[in-house]
Structure 1
Amino acid sequence: MSHDDEPIIPEAVRRLTSYGVEIRTTDDIKSFKKIIPAVRAFPDAFIVTADDDVYYGPHWLEDLTLASSGRMGLIVCYQAREIQRDDQGKLQPYEQWPYLSEPRDSATAFPVGRGGILYPPGALSSEIADEAAFLELCPQADDVWLYWMGRRAGSTYRKIQQSEGLWDWPGSQKTALFRENLLASMNDRQIDAVAQRYGYPDF
């Protein structure tokens, strides 16, 4: 969370620090506030991201780690879309990328952060922390940036089966980022910006 958000941390969350939970704040780098500070602070660690507006069951982290098996270069996720291209090889609009319903390993599986994603050390390009670049190209689409950085590092993706459901916290979706990204077609604009800078990934 950003430094400005620290005063509004609920007391119930603050009490978790007595159980070993560490709360860190960072500059307001929009949707990148989770992954970028973690990669900078723990470059040799396995890092798992999760959305704070979702309730996760007791086995979701175990499922991610078991599916990873410590394999380098394999990014594991619960939810993913399948990247679609037209006959000329151009990317189709994001809305036309269907959600994957079955587990699979694929370079064209595009992880969606809502379900939780596990990143092994080195699975993302060293360019991941280029703050000027991601704030210019895709400030509201960290999933886009992370996918491109994974492919630039040669990583592939594993979509796994959920052993339990995911539930949105009541009222949390009224201002959810997906509304702006999807309904306003901001994802397509940000995907195009990243592709123009770094090229299309090698599928």
Structure 2
Amino acid sequence: MSVIVSLTSTSTRMELLKYTLLSLMDQDYPAFRIYLSLSKEPYLIDSGVKVLPPWLNDMVSIGKLEVYWVKNTGPYRKLLPIINQVEDDDLLVTCDDDVIYGRGWLSSLIESATEYPKHVVCGRGRTVKKSIFSSRPQTYLHWPLAHGGATGFDIVPTGVGGVVYNKNLLDMDFINKKEFMDLAPRQDDLWFNKARELLNTPVHISEKAGSFLFPINAPGALFDNNAFSKKSSKRFRIISALQEKAQGLAGRLGLPICSNDVAYSNINRYVKKRGSQI
């Protein structure tokens, strides 16, 4: 059995990636490899990585990290196509490129995966919450974080905490279908989760891994409230409050109010339509 940590990144996030990779290379787990999938062609918000920065070449020269040039499928590159190339007993651990992972993160995930070999193990996940009036799920924004140690079929692993995959626990035919690029181009977690659901594989949240997560706050555009007068600012707050209440009600009723809701619905409709062909 080999342990492989796999992640991807984009042209504008290379500086964040540096710190994530440093934290991964400092893990206390004794033997593992890091696979970084990058692309030269643009896709979505990624303009493509044309040349590796010197610091990344230096990391590769150490020997633990390998860079793979793959077709640009956005966030899906953390699992595809690498999962098709690993052995049946390998553990493939995906993670995000904007998190500093404490030294015990990988060890805690592998410990849990060893204890729960028939589960997809993760460091963080959300529990699907049903609508108050029907069996439809509420908006993704209302799905609560599952507590450490939780186990179940209705938990959706999220990438930030790391997810441990064994290919035998996923519907490999489904996961490789190219429709994900149209149905859920940015929601890789939801697509991978459906591949788990189709084989009735439960999820286990590692009790310890969540304590080793330190997300990096990336700089972004700030909204300048000073551009508004007190009067217009007050009006803006009132309108925002009303919109928030309306969206909250719609979300509880199971109506889509965010892109994750749309992707989740798209995936479920696709599976239902294809049925046994999946």
Distance 2:113 2:145 in 1: 21
Alignment partner, residue 10 of structure 1: 53
Distance 1:145 1:165 in 2: 25
1:107 maps to 2:153: yes
Gaps of 5+ in 1: 176-183
Residues 79 and 111, structure 1, Cα contact 8 Å, conserved in 2: yes
Alignment partner, residue 135 of structure 1: 181
Q: CA deviation at 1:130?
A: 1.0
Give the match's secondary structure for 2:67.
Answer: coil
Structure of higher CA gyration radius: 2
Write the mapping of 1:1-203 to structure 2, written as runs, cut at 5 A: 1-4=38-41, 5-20=48-63, 21-44=65-88, 45-69=90-114, 71-86=116-131, 87-126=133-172, 127-131=174-178, 133-162=179-208, 164-171=211-218, 174=220, 185-199=258-272
Q: CA deviation at 1:19?
A: 2.3
Alpha-carbon RMSD: 2.0
After TM superposition, the score normalised by the length of structure 1 is: 0.85
Q: Number of paired residues?
A: 189
> Compared with structure 1, are the counterparts of its residues 2 and 61 closer, same or farther at alpha carbon in structure 2 (3 Å cutoff)?
same
Q: CA deviation at 1:91?
A: 1.1
Q: CA deviation at 1:7?
A: 2.9
Distance 1:166 1:24 in 2: 25
Gaps of 5+ in 2: 1-37, 42-47, 222-256, 273-278
> Compared with structure 1, are the counterparts of its residues 185 and 113 closer, same or farther at alpha carbon in structure 2 (3 Å cutoff)?
same
**Structure with the larger RCO, 1 or 2 (CA within 8 Å, 6+ apart):** 1
Query: Which has the larger displacement, 18-27 or 69-78?
Result: 69-78
Distance 2:138 2:79 in 1: 27
Give the match's secondary structure for 2:80.
Answer: helix
Could you list the structure 1 runs, at least 4 aligned residues long, displaced by more than 6 angstroms after superposition: none
Residues 104 and 212, structure 2, Cα contact 8 Å, conserved in 1: no
Distance 1:154 1:36 in 2: 21
Of all paired residues, the percent bearing the same amino acid is 22
